[in-house]
Amino acid sequence: MKKISVAVMAGAMLVMLIGTAMAGFWGDRVKTLTPSNGRLEIPVASVNDGKAHHFKVGATDGVMVTFFVLKSNDGVIRAALDACDVCYRAGKGYEQSGDEMVCQNCGMRFPSAKINEVKGGCNPAPLTRAIEGDKLVIAMADIDQNSWYCKFKK
């Protein structure tokens, strides 16, 4: 009986460890932001690693707007909606693959240095952003103006 109890406890601990590891690996890949004084402020140090960081924020029309920020290979911190003019209805967004962002609906690939530079088609819809001191700042007016892209987000 004691061997069974030890085996059950060991199994339960294994399940908990696997669950914790999976949550850490997949986790909530999209961080929720809260605006302050009509703007979003993201510490530059938290997005300065060349990786795409996904965020979401509630627009004034109630739509949860998702976007990503990344430092491109030319050293510029860029921001774009997790949607485009063509595939936004699919609500699938973009994933990073090396130095490119890949549309999860059609598979088109976009070099990081072109984010915010090219608009239209399946290019990620750019967000106006500014660096103020150690913060990346995005105006909620820009989020609100572009919320229609994210009405279909899954």
Starting at the edge strand found earlier in the chain, the sheet holding 53-58 runs 30-32, 53-58, 64-71, 77-81
Q: In degrees rounded to 5, what are phi and psi of residue 2?
A: -65, -35
Q: Are 59 and 143 in contact (CB under 8 A)?
A: yes
CATH topology of domain 33-150: Rieske Iron-sulfur Protein (2.102.10)
CA 120 from centroid of its chain's CA atoms: 20
The CA R_g of the chain, rounded to the nearest whole Å, is 19
**Residue 23 pLDDT exceeds 90:** no
| pLDDT reported for residue 9 | 46
> What does the pLDDT look like over 123-140, one tens digit per residue?
999 999 999 999 999 999
> What's the pLDDT at 4?
56
pLDDT tier at 19 (50, 70, 90 boundaries)? very low
Task: Give dist(CA 107, CA 146) in Å, integer.
Answer: 23
Q: First-to-last CA distance in the chain?
A: 48
Q: Comparing 15 with 102, which gets the higher pLDDT? A: 102
- Cα angle 102, 71, 60 (rounded to 5 degrees) comes to 75
Rounded Cα gap, residues 16 and 50, in angstroms: 32
Q: What are phi and psi of 84, to 5 degrees?
A: -140, 175
| pLDDT surpassing 50 at residue 45 | yes
Q: Does the structure show a pLDDT above 70 at 154? A: no
Q: What is the pLDDT of residues 1-11, one digit of tens each?
A: 555 554 444 44
- Pick from 40-44, 69-73, 89-93, 118-122: least confident: 118-122
pLDDT per position as a tens digit, 47-101: 999 999 999 999 999 999 999 999 999 999 999 999 999 999 999 999 999 999 9
- Which letter does DSSP use for residue 50 in this model? S
pLDDT above 60: residue 38: yes
Dmax (CA) for the chain in angstroms is 67
Rounded Cα gap, residues 75 and 71, in angstroms:
6
